[in-house]
Structure 1
Amino acid sequence: MAGSPKRLPIYSILQIYLVSILCLQYVVADDYCKATPNATPGPQDPPLPTLPKSFQTRIEANIIDRHYTMAAVEYVDDDNNRAALKMWKNGVETDVFFDYDNNQLFSIVDNMCVVTNLSSDPNTVIFGGGDTPPGGIPHVYTTAGVLHFAKQFGEVYQGKATIRGQQANQWRSCLFWPNVNANFTVDYYFSDPSWNTSSTMTAVPLRADVNGVYVIAQIEPVSFHHVYDFIDFRPTVPDDPSLFETPPGVSCGGRKKVRDMPKLKNSYYYREEIISEDSQSITQADVWYNYDWKLVRYDKRAQIAQAPYWNLNPITEIHDYNTGVAYAMDNVIKNCTIMPIENATWDSTFNGSTNYIYLRNPQSLFFLDSSYSYSGQRKARGIDCDVFTSTRTDFDNSPTVFEMYFLSDTWYASDNKGLDQTTIDIPIRLTVTAANDEAYPTIYELYDFDQEIPDIQTAYDVSRCYSDMDKIDFRITFPTTAGELLNEFRAIFIDKSIQLISSLAGTLSLVRITKAEVHWNDNNVYLIATLLDKAPPIAKFRKQAGKIYQYKNAMQLQGVQDPASCAEQCDSSDQFTCNSFDICAGKQICSLSQDYASDGSKLGDSLECDHYTRVLNTRVDQEIALNDAWIILTDQVVKGTFQFTILLDDNTKQVFKASDITSDILRNPNRQASKTALQHFTGSANKEVKGFDDLILTGMSVDDCANECLGEVIFTCQSFEYCYDTGYCVMSQQHPDERPDLIQASDHCDLYTRQYTAKFTETPGVTVLSASDTIYQNIFTDNQCAKLCVDYSEFDCKSFDYCPNINTCFLGKKTCI
């Protein structure tokens, strides 16, 4: 308010009365005392105490001539060239931080910070400063310098004294400070070495008593008397860097940027825990972000039962900024709603001039920009962090302090994701505090922060948002003998395949190629995946009910009955880029426009019409229909243009070129099957027999495959592999019991072995055929022995004995009954 007096910070008041610095003209003070810089100690005088370079102490300052008392806590860290002072007067706290390395002083009152140049600030008189060393950067004085106690001042021993009940030695100095035109004596009191104090030192400072005069602008000298008591003096500083750093929740505008803030990569995953002390709540979320793919996913629990979920279940939302579409999935009910991305979401930025939204870049997702400055190191969750601070007005329409904690460069994180074993410069915590507000900050704890590109198949799967009618399952064949390389390069093969399909098939959004997997044998590699239909066009537009965009129609269509049909016309228009439309369902009129009007400022009211405006700022050319995308993809494979290269570890290149594509496959993840045919087989999950693929059938269920094996007439089918994700049925005349060394693990298929023991009744612990002439050794299962009996032709084998302890099989002509 104009005319109101300005309150000086406490440290300025202390400075004025401590060393009598007044910003007025001075005349020379009368001689109050005479300095004795060359005083010689008497033979019985105790030696001057040896003081540490670093220390901490509490101070009580009694400014007697002004009738007030101040309290302070002082820390001087000479090793790290820094100091800090906390002072209290009339219940108001002032914190002062001295950054000598960077010539900065920070003074904080009521969470408001002022930054000044340390070399020109008057506080350097009490805390160092004075003469400037070479290079122009002031250096914190030793303790003797801070207390103005050293031999060059000519201290004279005064004898014994008692201070606060403690035995002490007293010295006196006479000082004249021409820069403040003051002449005064300082009586120093140090504890007597025979007195045991709380410190490890034999003599600690107890008091400084200052008496003198100063002269102001040709006026008579003015007397002053200050008494400073030093309490709990210690020759060390706490091992806590935060004591010398500006406190959390305070932003110091104009602070020098002595360290660049780390830059986030274009892709990352993290788990966050949001702590709000105001609401006494903790919420969690998992976030996947890829700026290059323009995709964001976050998993959380709904906090309010509202659209589109209407419950509080765990949810997944995937935002596709290629199309402006959000996929909202309930992870309990397993339903999905396809809708526009709202401009109120945390990952979007609203462009007010053109009225569309776009994806925040990797930095702005956390509101990181050039306004941040380095605030020093603090601990978060016991981790050393470099803290960067900014005061922003673009978060909650009011000044808000953002503090981002990055992992210190002396630490590293070893995560359990991706290929990189260690990560550096990762965010650990973000705190958001309203400036000049006593509310608690909101704390975002960031865990498992990983900046590798996520697996698109698991991170951005929207397949459950589409029915089987909106999908095409397909298989692409690559003739090659290099399949074994994919044991190491499987993920790279899948990623390159998806990227190529996206670019060739009409530039599809990557979320439309899903459930990709790769298989191989000695001669071929097979890519199996699912192609999804385009998102409903209506999901790309935001509705404003009861509004109309008057006089801005580029085209008007008759006979359009609903918003979905009008959105289809707008999205597929090839005459101009349609960015908004009005639908008057009662009149069946669809009006298309090239303009955006999502903020509502250009719209008029209507009782019959609704306005829809596009979420994104351009026409989405990549959203071609499912069948059109399939035709383009098939054409590329047939033409021989579907190929890509993988760079191997030895810097050689492996080319994969597709030769065939088919949609005649069955993808059925359900392993449930009837026992009609399968009762003749024993199943082994995730197993296969390599190299004995006598017949391969596709597009059938596991029951169909079992029936085909039993009914095969060209050869005797002894086993089959069934791949549930693809509907592959691979039959073999090799019985796995005869070559167990060929059985190997499989990611996607199960092995079914012909079960011959079903034809026999087991009688445990009984043998009747030990005298049999037909004996087989090295038989590893009872099923293998049963097969020998069934297939034996020399006589009608009716029973067998199997001894697993000696791996021996005895065949017999009779039963034991």
Structure 2
Amino acid sequence: MASSLKLHLVTLIAVVIVVVQAAPDLGVCDPSNYTYPYDGPPLPTLPSQYRLKVEVNIVNKGYSFILEEFYDAVNNRGASISHRGDNSTHYTSYDYGLNQTVEVTTDHASGTSSCNVRDFGRFSLFGFHIENGTGHINGTDAIFRFGEEFNETYMGVATVRGIPANHWQRCIYNPDSNHTFRLDFYFSNASFHLQSGPNAIPLRATINGSGISRRTQEKYNFYHNYEYLEVEPGPVTMERAFEPPLGVVCPGYKRVKKFPDFPKVFGVNIESVIPSYQRIHYSREYYNYPANLFAYIYEPWGNSSGNATMVREVHDFNAGLAYKFEYGTDQCTIGPIPVDSFFRDTESPDGIHVSLKSPNSFILHNQSSWIYEGNTTLDDIDAEAWITAGQRVNGSSVWNFTMEYFFARGNWTGGTNKSGLVHQMPLLFRFTGKNASTNFTFRMNQKLIHFTYQLSDHFFDVHLCYNEEDSRSMAVEIIGVDIRKNYIENNTHNFYAAVQHTIANVSGLPASRIGNVYAAEGVEEILIVYFDMLGLPPVKGNAYQNYQTFFPP
């Protein structure tokens, strides 16, 4: 628990090395003067797991800070959070099994954070030792430097912050650094009931002594006081106590987990919160990768034309055509797919022609660039998070950004058995971008709702953009045993997408011109698939000619 104490003890005992011939400063204490055998009440048993908060006062140097510590010998890990007077917070975690330290410093004035990941060196806040070639966190006796093996002397009962406390003392002399000091510990007395329970917990520790300056070879005095303000023995329950803060990119973090795969066909409702503009925006997105189609339903930003309250766009990447429909009107606009569509569906290899982003590119970066952040909770849902960083150049503007994705974990599911249960569904997307020239920061949080595999053909229907005279209703027969049961009932979301893609592929038409697909059982073992073949579009699209489908038929 007194890892903060150990930090300064290590500095005093192990780090400061002065090559001088000297003896203990008997004006401080005499290390040979201790009670043997031990005479006093039983020494407190220190826990193998705890959380504590300590006020560290370096009296001789005139400064103090608050340190929060998390210790878990059971799972071989530790962490600390310190709050300094320069308006900064320092987080450090120690994973002894992975031999890794993660340090995150947050400057609250600028709102920026930096992360440093490194292997253990000679120093660890809680100390460590090697067992069978693997690092292990030190036990609490070694961290506290308190216990029967340290020849503690019982000094009686004292009062700490009005609490009766048992007082122990020992004298320490380090000949290498020529430091002599008294180490006093005060533990709660059983006569006083504390919130943490009946077990004795540390209330205060002090270091009072003298040393020799390495620079001037002159004697100096030091006094440190540690006030333990919160002590909670037992498993640490604070979320992410042993993991770096969310929203900070830590390259080299050894806790690795593959970014989840997005399915071939899916839809999701999105609530976008944009603090910079105090704006909340709602939309729905639908992806059909076998058919190479994307649909987007949204509220127009600001005033819309006519009586439209919602707009639906369908992007057919086979032809490079964008269809735009305004609800409440009969208007349909057809044109090339917009090239600059950073947050949605489009990527362009040459700035002119377009292709549909792959499922991996749906999250804007290659999956291998995402760093696993670990577990958290969102709206009481068990979740896990990934983060990545990047840069986007838009003309003369350079934007540096981070993106964060949160997915449900464990047994959380959505959907139904009929529409398809969704596991590890995306829950939240966070984007933070900063303009390198103006320092303007743009933030957006997108809550992902109703992530589903079941998509209706209506979302991709574009027949209003074509003359009925140019369209043809057609049908094909599929012969087989229990086709509906085996291929449709348990896989509806992929069946119709695959049929649309196959018909388009065989006919040489864009998938958007194959509409109103549905299946009906015919006689005996025949399944009839009906569909409409729409006419020619009035404009030329901008599909990438060398496009290779991501899901071959």
Q: Does 1:26 pair with 2:26?
A: no
CA 1:176–1:508: 2 relative to 1, 3 Å: farther
What is the deviation of 1:182?
A: 4.2
CA 1:119–1:510: 2 relative to 1, 3 Å: same
Q: Counterpart in 2 of 1:374?
A: 372
CA contact (8 A) 1:96 1:105 kept: yes
1:94-142: CA deviation from partner (whole Å, max 9, x where unpaired) = 22223333222222222423324352163x1xx3124333323242x34
Q: Counterpart in 1 of 2:70?
A: 75
CA contact (8 A) 2:188 2:203 kept: yes
Q: Counterpart in 2 of 1:203?
A: 200
Q: Counterpart in 1 of 2:462?
A: 462
CA contact (8 A) 1:20 1:180 kept: yes
Identity within the alignment, %: 24
CA contact (8 A) 1:206 1:230 kept: yes
CA contact (8 A) 2:269 2:449 kept: yes
CA 1:230–1:504: 2 relative to 1, 3 Å: closer
CA contact (8 A) 1:267 1:362 kept: no
Aligned mate of 1:363, from 360, 371, 381: 360
Structure 1 distance, partners of 2:287, 2:402, is 24
Q: Does 1:332 pair with 2:320?
A: no
Structure 2 distance, partners of 1:317, 1:620, is 21
Q: How does 1:233-312 map to 2 (within 5 A)?
A: 233-305=231-303
What is the deviation of 1:393?
A: 1.8
CA contact (8 A) 1:169 1:192 kept: yes
Structure 2 distance, partners of 1:277, 1:15, is 41
SS at 2:198's partner residue? coil
CA contact (8 A) 1:54 1:143 kept: no
CA 1:322–1:128: 2 relative to 1, 3 Å: same
- Higher mean alpha-carbon deviation, 224-233 vs 22-31, is at 22-31
Q: Does 1:55 pair with 2:50?
A: yes
What is the deviation of 1:225?
A: 1.4
What is the deviation of 1:206?
A: 1.1
What is the deviation of 1:167?
A: 1.9
Q: Counterpart in 1 of 2:129?
A: 131
Aligned mate of 1:212, from 206, 209, 218: 209
Structure 2 distance, partners of 1:83, 1:493, is 51
Aligned AA (2:53): R
CA contact (8 A) 2:434 2:441 kept: no
Structure 2 distance, partners of 1:179, 1:322, is 77
CA contact (8 A) 1:189 1:206 kept: yes
CA contact (8 A) 1:24 1:217 kept: no
1:710-735: CA deviation from partner (whole Å, max 9, x where unpaired) = xxxxxxxxxxxxxxxxxxxxxxxxxx
Structure 1 distance, partners of 2:284, 2:185, is 62
SS at 2:240's partner residue? helix
Q: How does 1:684-695 map to 2 (within 5 A)?
A: none
SS at 1:65's partner residue? helix
SS at 1:508's partner residue? coil
CA 1:87–1:181: 2 relative to 1, 3 Å: farther
What is the deviation of 1:183?
A: 4.0
Larger strand share, 1 or 2: 2
What is the deviation of 1:25?
A: 5.6
1:213-262: CA deviation from partner (whole Å, max 9, x where unpaired) = 44426823443211111123221355233233222222223322432222
SS at 1:49's partner residue? coil
Aligned AA (2:361): S
What is the deviation of 1:325?
A: 0.8
Q: Does 1:102 pair with 2:104?
A: no
Q: Counterpart in 2 of 1:175?
A: 172
CA 1:177–1:41: 2 relative to 1, 3 Å: same
Structure 2 distance, partners of 1:519, 1:351, is 42
CA contact (8 A) 2:377 2:383 kept: yes
SS at 2:260's partner residue? coil
What is the deviation of 1:205?
A: 0.8
Q: Counterpart in 2 of 1:649?
A: none
Structure 1 distance, partners of 2:176, 2:535, is 82
CA contact (8 A) 2:129 2:135 kept: no
Q: How does 1:376-525 map to 2 (within 5 A)?
A: 376-394=374-392, 397-408=398-409, 410-416=410-416, 420=420, 422-434=421-433, 441-450=443-452, 452=453, 455=455, 457-476=457-476, 486=484, 498-505=500-507, 507-522=508-523
CA 1:171–1:418: 2 relative to 1, 3 Å: same
What is the deviation of 1:314?
A: 0.9
Structure 2 length as normaliser, TM-score?
Answer: 0.83
Structure 2 distance, partners of 1:440, 1:48, is 56
Aligned mate of 1:317, from 298, 313, 333: 313
Q: How does 1:12-23 map to 2 (within 5 A)?
A: 15=7, 19-20=11-12
Aligned AA (1:250): V
Structure 2 distance, partners of 1:392, 1:180, is 48
| Matched residue count | 523
CA contact (8 A) 2:413 2:424 kept: no
CA 1:22–1:461: 2 relative to 1, 3 Å: farther
Structure 2 distance, partners of 1:54, 1:176, is 30
CA 1:509–1:115: 2 relative to 1, 3 Å: same
What is the deviation of 1:338?
A: 0.8
Structure 2 distance, partners of 1:70, 1:337, is 63
Q: Does 1:617 pair with 2:544?
A: yes
Aligned mate of 2:537, from 535, 538, 543: 535
Structure 1 length as normaliser, TM-score?
Answer: 0.58
1:1-25: CA deviation from partner (whole Å, max 9, x where unpaired) = xxxxxxxxxx999956873489776
Structure 2 distance, partners of 1:501, 1:351, is 28
Structure 2 distance, partners of 1:157, 1:255, is 45
SS at 1:365's partner residue? helix
SS at 2:277's partner residue? coil
Structure 2 distance, partners of 1:325, 1:412, is 38
1:262-301: CA deviation from partner (whole Å, max 9, x where unpaired) = 2323332222221233433332222111334321112111
Structure 2 distance, partners of 1:12, 1:338, is 67
CA 1:621–1:89: 2 relative to 1, 3 Å: closer
Q: Counterpart in 2 of 1:147?
A: 144
Flag the structure with more relative contact order, 1 or 2, with Cα contacts below 8 A and sequence separation at least 6: 2
CA 1:170–1:256: 2 relative to 1, 3 Å: same
CA contact (8 A) 1:385 1:406 kept: yes
Structure 2 distance, partners of 1:223, 1:378, is 46
